[in-house]
A and B are shown apart, each in its own frame.
Chain A
Amino acid sequence: MPESLQIFLENFADWESLARVWPLLLQGLLLTAGLAAVALPLGLLAGLLVGLGCALGGRVARVALLVWIDLFRAFPVLVLLILIYYGLPFLGVTLPAFAAAVLALVLNNSGYYGEIFRAGLASVPHGQAEAAAALGLTRLQAMLLVVLPQALRAVVAPLASNSLELVKATSIAALVALPELLRSARVAQEQTYNPTPLMAAAVIYFLLLWPFAHLVARLERRMLARGVR
């Protein structure tokens, strides 16, 4: 074996370190999964409400929601998390790291998902809502039963892409000391004086997210191809 490769393997794939710290990594993985499992549905729901509000609300509500969307799309999610975790306690509101991370992810994604749903609902031809009204459906019924299902088909790709970004963004919770996967890997690295745990975390993230990333890329390619014709 060439010497450089050996040095690389000793440093980045040291099984002894890994054997020592794997419980830490596993616990981190579970916390990452838990964070995603809580923040993803809540973010989707918040975004759907924002999108529906844009479509159904009056002029004032629409402008207010557009401002909401752009504000939260402009804020880096980490800035939001730091504000919530380190800034809110001065007002007497102290949230545990997990709740702060969920709140930051949900607020941030209410903007991202909100914009996706808003654009999707706006892309459905107006005649659909008018036809539904002619059949005697209320505005809400027309929106939920006629317009929304058609909008959903148009937004599958961006929704999937944004959901992947949300799951990836759970790693920022490491910066408020929540021992999710990345934070656990850093702690393990400091215990072992060896970057193998970091490598292991990268491999775990990759194996976990790659099938999903692959699917997102396929959906986006299909959308781009459809856009040209």
Chain B
Amino acid sequence: MERFAEYYLNAEVLATYGPGIVAGLWVTLATAAATVAIGVGLGLLMAIALAAHVPGVRLLIGAWIEIFRTLPQLAVIVFLYFGLPYAGLTLSPFWATAGALGAVLSAFAAEIFRSAIQALPRGQWDAAAALGFRFPATFFLVILPQAIRLAIPLLTNRAIAIIKGTALGTAVSLPEILGRAQSAMAIAANPSPLTLAAALYLVLFLPLVVASRWLEGTRVVPR
């Protein structure tokens, strides 16, 4: 037990490297925020473009959704960071990670919004038309607010699952929690930094997991 504490809860090591690792929390949070902003924003835009039948974009958006829903997140991050520079586009670790995770989330979000829009009863469109609404008013005032409410549980779950992928940024040397913990572990030859990182991830994600369980339990759209 003493040996366990010395290795995994070493106060000296934690005092030295702890502040640096906790600082990684902000990088993790910023990456997660950028991912959600890109993902949900882009996903909503794509769903709107599809619903409005904007000419010429259907195939493009369809391909985007299929590609980013299918590829592993880490493969997308690695491709953006190590592959794109050959095309003349060099991304920072932050934007490679947030861009890749955002692209993945946008594909799922677009699909979720699209399904939610399609799942609304046809009568909602008819009723709005009977009131003399044109497409924009019908879509933005009647359909979209209901669709967003319908999409929230699925979208929240997906967003949580994907922002947990911010740890993958360590593959492109993003200085977030895990990356900093790993280098501290290597320097100190002691895994206590990893224990701290694990604790930070729990503090960060456990409330989200519990909240999503609660969100699933409540019916967002009443019967």
Contact = CB atoms under 8 A, between A and B. Distances in A.
A and B associate? yes
B72 A171 contact: yes
A227 B75 CA distance: 33
B120 A228 contact: yes
Interface of B: 4, 7-8, 66-67, 69-75, 78-79, 82-83, 86-87, 111, 115-116, 118-121, 150, 154, 161, 164-168, 170-171, 178, 182, 185, 190-191, 194-195, 197-198, 201-202, 205-206, 208-210, 213, 216, 221
A202 B71 contact: yes
B182 A82 contact: yes
B70 A75 contact: no
A76 B201 contact: yes
A154 to B, nearest CB: 13
A198 B74 CA distance: 12
Interface string A116-150: 00010000000000000000000000000000000
A206 B83 contact: no
Contacts of B70: 205-206, 209-210, 213
Nearest to A225: B119
A79 B178 contact: yes
A201 interface: yes
A131 to B, nearest CB: 26
11 contacts: A11-B86, A70-B213, A71-B206, A76-B168, A86-B194, A119-B216, A168-B71, A198-B83, A202-B71, A221-B115, A228-B120
Contacts of A30: none
User: Per DSSP, are chain A's interface residues mostly helix, strand or loop, or mixed?
Assistant: helix
A201 B201 contact: no
Nearest to A11: B86
Describe B's contact surface by its main secondary structure.
helix
B214 to A, nearest CB: 11
A175 B169 CA distance: 11
Interface string A191-229: 000110011011001100110011001001100110110
Contacts of A225: 115, 118-119
Interface string A68-108: 00110111111100110011001100000000000000000
Contacts of A186: 78, 82
Nearest to A222: B115
A104 B198 CA distance: 14
Contacts of B216: 119
A182 interface: yes
Contacts of B4: 91
A62 B130 CA distance: 53
Contact of B71 (A73, A86, A206, A214): A206
B119 A206 contact: no
A169 interface: yes
A169 B69 contact: no
